[in-house]
Amino acid sequence: MVKENIYQPFEIFFQELEEAPVSGHSHNFFELVYIIDGTGKQCINKNKFNYSKGHLFLLTPKDYHSFEIEKTTKFFYLRFGDIYLKSKDQKDPSYFQAWTLRLEFIFQNASNLPGCILKNIEDRILVKNIVESLVKE
C-alpha cells in the first residue's frame, strides 16, 4: 500500500486528470478534495460513492482511498497535518482547547460519514466560491 506524506504545514493544489494515477493509498495528513468538474467514483475504505461537480470529501490519515475517473476531472486539494489541531492559543486557552477537541473529534471520525460532506446549498455555494478564489490566487 502506498502512503503519501506531507512535509509542510499545508499544501494547496489542483489537477486535471483523465485517469487516476495512483491506486489505493493512504496519507499521514488530512485532505479536503473538492471536485471542480468531472464525474467518477470515490473509493474509500472499501466503499464506493459517485462524485460530480461540487462535491467535497474529507479524508483522514486513517482512510485508504482512491478515485475512479469516468469523465475528465478537475480536483482541488487542501492538505494539512494535525499541527492545526495541536496548537495553543495564549489569549484564552480553555476556549481554544475545547474548540480544538471538538474539531479533532470531527476530523478523526469523518470516515464514519463517507461521501460528500456538503449537505446544504448554502455550504455548496460558499465552498465553490472559496475554491474558485484560491484557484485564481
Q: What is the pTM of this model?
A: 0.77
Stretch 70-79: mean pLDDT: 95
Centroid of chain to Cα 119? 15
Domain span at residue 32 reads: 2-136
CATH label of the domain that carries residue 35:
2.60.120.10
Please tell me the total count of domains within the chain: 1
* Percent of the chain's residues with pLDDT above 70: 74
132 contacts: CB under 8 Å, gap ≥ 6:
none
List the single range of 40-44, 55-59, 114-118, 132-136 with lowest mean pLDDT.
114-118
Which CA distances in Å does 122 have to 42, 54, 69, 113, 126?
23, 12, 27, 20, 6
Write the Ramachandran bin of 4: left for phi over 0, alpha for psi from -120 to 50, otherwise beta.
beta
